């Protein structure tokens, strides 16, 4: 019996092992690792062990490209400054490169202080050919390493390395002659972040420089970053990233890779070939799954990174109270009755959004309020004010905007305070007497003042008396006839207090 061989693009388990197409070990794409055109890409080869800053010359084949100097960090010696330490562990090996974007020194800000490292390439980047620059960038912290446009520059001859010799304020390479900007990538994060830059040079490039952007930063602190594992090679040696077109929720949503007219393609869902889908783009028709595409070029396979496609489902729960006889428009349905309602609407992205509505209906409310005030005071409720006792009907609105009828019964506190008394011993009106006919109103303190404002009598801590009197004596002596001012402090409900001031005339 002849052993069957798995065919990797027909959607069939040819060898009967239960594994179809790319899920079968026999269909593994033996894609070679890209070899970097940048020599010593991880800074591991060294001619010496760095002992301090600005010793990039210890890293074999690396050139200090700018006059402002980068720093070679290696675990064998110099491990970076204490205030701008590199993140650990390093992505690859013992060495990394550190660089600044601007510098603050002795209180002076040098915006044009830009540090670049450079290298003469093992072989040139050819004009019109697509290359990928894959690298790690390290962030110190959010303050000293905010988002940065990592910038990639090239030149047509290694003779132009270094650039700007003797000029610390030149800035980026393109501020001088012979250099061109190739591309950049805005990167942010914490620790080490892996990213890529795509490059298509207009002419052959023999040497490169990497570092901060040409634009001057506005930071008030030193900005510092790290590089490691700089892989520059033809894009065909890297797994392609699948790109999106249109919203993931619409039927014409499309995924694709950058096409090459000399390449052929095969799309896969969950590792199984999608028969007939052999273009550089594919429409999954809202069918979820893990999608990938195999590119064949010059006898070499290149399997893309997996694109996990999910059609998001949004669920929104809404609790709503409406007023009686005021319908609620729920996606063109007018609702009057309480209950749970469910509907599906489209988001701005074209995705389904399930709305679960818990609808409550509030009828017209009627409430009763009994309140008391002192004569001369004002009772307020909403925008209404009342200074006379009586019964009132108020048409108000609840917090939900529904009609509410409030019945207000307003009364005056029953308190009697005389305005004259005669302490002459005849048994009639001999004392200044305060009477209260309220169960929740008590006298807390009484003060009497003469016409010059001097307090001539005071009684406090009356232990919630409901009546009190003053016999007209001052320092145990009966006062001469005069007009006095009284100040009475009352204790009300809910720990509230009320102070009443008035005049009392003493006669004989």
Does one domain contain both 104 and 212? Answer: yes
Does one domain contain both 323 and 253? Answer: no
pLDDT tens for residues 199-231?
999 999 999 999 999 999 999 999 999 999 999
Does one domain contain both 279 and 426? Answer: no
* Helix, coil or strand: residue 175: helix
Q: Is the pTM of this model over 0.85?
A: no
Flag whether 49 is in a domain.
no
Flag whether 4 is in a domain.
no
The residues that bridge with 380 in the sheet, in sequence order, are 385
CATH number at residue 224: 2.60.120.260
Does one domain contain both 371 and 407? Answer: yes
- The DSSP line for 232-293 is EEEGGGSPPPPEEES-TTSTT-EEE----TT-EEEEEETTEE-TT--SSEE--TT--EEEEE
pLDDT tens for residues 262-294?
999 999 999 999 999 999 999 999 899 999 999
Does one domain contain both 61 and 198? Answer: yes
CATH number at residue 276: 2.60.40.10
| Residues of the domain holding 483 | 415-506
CATH number at residue 442: 2.60.40
Does one domain contain both 432 and 478? Answer: yes
More confident call, 1 vs 13: 13
- Does residue 58 carry a pLDDT above 50? yes
Please name the helix (run of DSSP H) or strand (run of DSSP E) that holds residue 467, with its range, or none.
Answer: strand 467-470
Does one domain contain both 64 and 193? Answer: yes
Nearest Cα to Cα of residue 116 among 150, 68, 76: 68
Q: Which of 362, 381, 400 is the last residue of a domain?
A: 362
DSSP 8-state secondary structure symbol assigned to residue 451: T
Does one domain contain both 408 and 419? Answer: no
Instruction: Sheet with 403-412: list strands edge to edge.
Output: 365-373, 403-412, 390-397
Does one domain contain both 281 and 296? Answer: yes
CA atoms within 13 A on the CB side of 158: 12
CB-CB contact of 101 with 221 (8 Å): no
DSSP 8-state secondary structure symbol assigned to residue 9: T
Does one domain contain both 399 and 426? Answer: no
Q: CA 404 to CA 368: how far, in whole Å?
A: 11
pLDDT tens for residues 67-123?
999 999 999 999 999 999 999 999 999 999 999 999 998 888 999 999 999 999 999
- Percent of residues, the chain, with pLDDT higher than 70: 98
Is the bond leading into 162 cis (omega within 30 degrees of zero)? yes
Flag whether 26 is in a domain.
no
pLDDT tens for residues 383-398?
899 999 999 999 888 8
E strand spans, 413-450: 415-416, 420-421, 432-436, 442-449
- Percent of residues, the chain, with pLDDT higher than 90: 71
The pair phi, psi for residue 260, each rounded to 5°, is -125, 125
Flag whether 499 is in a domain.
yes
pLDDT tens for residues 447-481?
999 999 999 999 887 766 667 889 999 988 899 99
Q: How far is CA 364 from the centre of its chain?
A: 42
Does one domain contain both 99 and 215? Answer: yes
Please name the helix (run of DSSP H) or strand (run of DSSP E) that holds residue 101, with its range, or none.
Answer: strand 95-105
Q: How far is CA 483 from the centre of its chain?
A: 70
Flag whether 47 is in a domain.
no
Nearest Cα to Cα of residue 241 among 181, 276, 204, 194: 194
Flag whether 426 is in a domain.
yes
Q: Which of 346, 362, 378 is the last residue of a domain?
A: 362
Nearest Cα to Cα of residue 465 among 490, 487, 496: 490
Does one domain contain both 85 and 123? Answer: yes
Number of independent structural domains in the chain: 5
Token digits for 402? 């529904």
Token digits for 118? 């450079």
Flag whether 50 is in a domain.
no
Flag whether 41 is in a domain.
no
Token digits for 422? 């005669």
CB-CB contact of 413 with 373 (8 Å): yes
* Helix, coil or strand: residue 201: coil
Nearest Cα to Cα of residue 229 among 33, 15, 32, 474: 33
């Amino acid at each position: 019996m002849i052993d069957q061989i798995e065919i990797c693009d027909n959607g069939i388990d040819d060898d009967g092992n239960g594994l179809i197409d790319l899920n079968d070990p026999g269909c593994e794409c033996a894609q070679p690792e890209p070899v970097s055109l940048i020599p010593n890409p991880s800074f591991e080869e060294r001619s010496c062990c760095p002992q301090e800053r600005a010793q990039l010359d210890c890293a074999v084949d690396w050139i200090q490209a700018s006059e402002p100097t980068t720093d070679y960090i290696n675990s064998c010696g110099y491990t970076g400054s204490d205030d701008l330490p590199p993140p650990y562990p390093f992505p690859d090996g013992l060495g990394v490169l550190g660089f600044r974007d601007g510098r603050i020194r002795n209180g002076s800000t040098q915006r044009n202080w830009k540090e670049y490292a450079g290298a003469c390439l093992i072989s040139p980047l050819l004009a019109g050919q697509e290359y990928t620059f894959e690298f790690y960038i390290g962030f110190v912290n959010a303050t000293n390493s905010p988002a940065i446009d990592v910038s990639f520059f090239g030149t047509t001859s290694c003779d132009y390395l270094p650039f700007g010799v003797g000029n610390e304020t030149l800035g980026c390479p393109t501020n001088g002659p012979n250099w061109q900007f190739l591309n950049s990538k805005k990167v942010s994060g914490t620790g080490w972040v892996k990213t890529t830059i795509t490059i298509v040079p207009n002419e052959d490039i023999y040497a490169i420089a990497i570092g901060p952007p040409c634009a001057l930063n506005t930071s008030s602190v030193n900005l510092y970053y790290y590089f490691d594992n700089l892989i520059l090679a033809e894009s065909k040696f890297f797994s392609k990233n699948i790109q999106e077109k249109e919203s993931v929720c619409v039927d014409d949503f499309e995924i694709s890779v950058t096409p090459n007219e000399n390449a052929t393609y095969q799309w896969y869902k969950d590792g199984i070939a999608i028969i007939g889908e052999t273009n550089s783009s594919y429409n999954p028709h809202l069918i979820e799954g893990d999608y990938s595409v195999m590119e064949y070029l010059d006898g070499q396979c290149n399997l893309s990174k997996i694109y996990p496609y999910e059609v998001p489902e949004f669920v929104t729960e809404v609790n709503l109270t409406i007023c009686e006889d005021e319908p609620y428009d729920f996606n063109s349905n007018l609702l009057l009755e309480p209950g749970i309602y469910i509907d599906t609407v489209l988001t701005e992205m074209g995705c389904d959004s399930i709305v679960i509505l818990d609808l409550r209906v509030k009828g017209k409310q009627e409430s009763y309020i009994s309140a008391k005030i002192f004569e001369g005071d004002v009772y307020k409720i909403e925008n209404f004010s009342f200074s006379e006792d009586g019964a009132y009907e108020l048409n108000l609105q609840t917090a939900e905007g529904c009609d509410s009828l409030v019945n207000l019964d307003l009364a005056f506190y029953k308190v009697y305070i005389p305005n004259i008394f005669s302490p002459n011993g005849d048994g009639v009106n001999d004392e200044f007497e305060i009477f209260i006919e309220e169960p929740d109103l008590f006298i807390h303190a009484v003060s009497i003042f003469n016409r010059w404002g001097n307090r001539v009598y005071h009684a406090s801590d009356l232990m919630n008396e409901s009546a009190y009197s003053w016999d007209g004596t001052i320092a145990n002596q009966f006062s001469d006839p005069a007009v006095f001012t009284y100040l009475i402090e009352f204790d009300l409900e809910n720990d509230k207090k009320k102070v009443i001031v008035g005049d009392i005339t003493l006669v004989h």
